[in-house]
């Protein structure tokens, strides 16, 4: 619509310019005839003055030559053409003025429409921003839900390596009067996925307290073994004691009310579950004898830690 209005205004302006350019140039008319008469008068005046005197002055009356019919027709045509050109100029000027007014009117309408579109676009942008914020909030909730589901799956499916059952014991006598106890502590994977890079070590310590002071101080050269443990599989960790004298052996085998010394089994297990997380387990338990049967029991101490 705006392009059409510009085209109309351009055509109107072009017509006005054409009308102005068609105005005829002035041609010699009465003024030319008058100039010709003046020239003839000037040319004849000296001759007439030469023929007169102070006493008998000579007066010459110059009668203008009446215009011919052809000249009168030409002048009438020129006046008619000039009037026609002026009329066309006025007409095209009016057309140009009306075209300008129409162009201004539709320009104002376009401005109002553009302002309305601007407001509509601003409203749409606000709605899109709200939708984007809502989608971002949903994405955050979805990520949190996925993380929670993953954590739950890891807890339900990962490997759980822990103590299982009573240890077996083997006595050896490196020299006369000394005894070395070696306990084989069972370790089992109670989870649903394998435990890899498992490292288990332990030792046996005699202590007069309920918890040996060095329960968490394990030298790296005590009973080290490295295996991969699948679901439901079991291994035994060796926990050997130092050489004990016969009196120490008697003391640790005394029933609980009379026992002054206790033989403790302490150990440490590290492994990696199927989700790539490192797991850590420490145990500490005391040993008591009931007749010839060795019974292990859990003493207060560290449990499994991630």
User: Looking up tokens 């000037």, which residue turns up?
Assistant: 42
Domain covering 161-298 in this structure, CATH number: 2.60.40
Domains of the chain: which residue ranges?
2-29+67-123, 161-298
The verdict on pTM exceeding 0.85 is no
Q: For residue range 201-240, what is the model confidence (pLDDT) as tens digits? A: 888 888 876 666 555 566 555 555 667 889 999 988 888 8
What are the counts of helices (DSSP H) followed by strands (DSSP E) for the chain?
Answer: 4, 10
Residue 69 confidence (pLDDT) above 70: yes
Element housing 188 (H / E)? strand 178-189
The pLDDT of residue 63 is above 50: yes
Q: Which two tokens stand for residue 220?
A: 């790296």
Interatomic CA distance for residues 73 and 83, integer angstroms: 15
User: Using one digit for the tens of pLDDT, what is the confidence trace for 179-208?
Assistant: 999 999 899 999 999 999 888 888 888 887
3-class secondary-structure state, position 281: strand
234-240/178-189 β-pairing: antiparallel
Q: Output the six-digit token pair for 270.
A: 């590290």
Element (H, E) at 298: strand 293-298
What percentage of residues in the chain have a pLDDT greater than 90? 10
């Amino acid at each position: 619509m705006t392009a059409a209005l510009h085209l109309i205004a351009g055509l109107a302006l072009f017509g006005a310019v054409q009308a102005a350019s068609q105005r005829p140039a002035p041609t010699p008319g009465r003024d030319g005839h008058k100039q010709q008469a003046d020239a003839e008068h000037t040319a004849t005046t000296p001759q007439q003055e030469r023929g007169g005197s102070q006493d008998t002055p000579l007066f010459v009356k110059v009668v203008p030559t009446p215009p011919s019919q052809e000249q009168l027709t030409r002048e009438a045509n020129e006046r008619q053409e000039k009037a026609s050109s002026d009329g066309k100029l006025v007409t095209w000027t009016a057309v140009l003025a009306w075209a300008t007014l129409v162009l201004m009117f539709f320009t104002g309408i376009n401005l109002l429409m553009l302002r309305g579109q601007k407001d509509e676009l601003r409203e749409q942008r606000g709605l899109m921003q709200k939708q984007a914020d809502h989608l971002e909030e949903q994405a955050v909730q979805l990520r949190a839900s996925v993380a929670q589901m993953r954590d739950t799956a890891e807890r339900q499916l990962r490997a759980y390596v822990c103590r299982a059952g009573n240890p077996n014991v083997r006595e050896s006598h490196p020299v006369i009067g000394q005894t070395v106890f070696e306990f084989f502590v069972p370790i089992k994977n109670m989870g649903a996925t394998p435990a890899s890079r498992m490292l288990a070590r332990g030792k046996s310590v005699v202590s007069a307290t309920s918890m040996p002071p060095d329960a968490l101080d394990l030298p790296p050269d005590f009973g080290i073994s490295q295996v991969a443990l699948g679901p439901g599989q079991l291994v035994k960790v060796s926990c050997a004691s130092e050489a004990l004298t016969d009196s120490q052996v008697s003391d640790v085998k005394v029933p609980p009310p009379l026992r002054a010394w206790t033989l403790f089994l302490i150990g440490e297990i590290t492994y990696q579950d199927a989700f790539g997380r490192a797991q850590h387990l420490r145990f500490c338990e005391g040993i008591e004898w009931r007749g010839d049967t060795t019974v292990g029991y859990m003493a207060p101490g560290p449990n499994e830690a991630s």
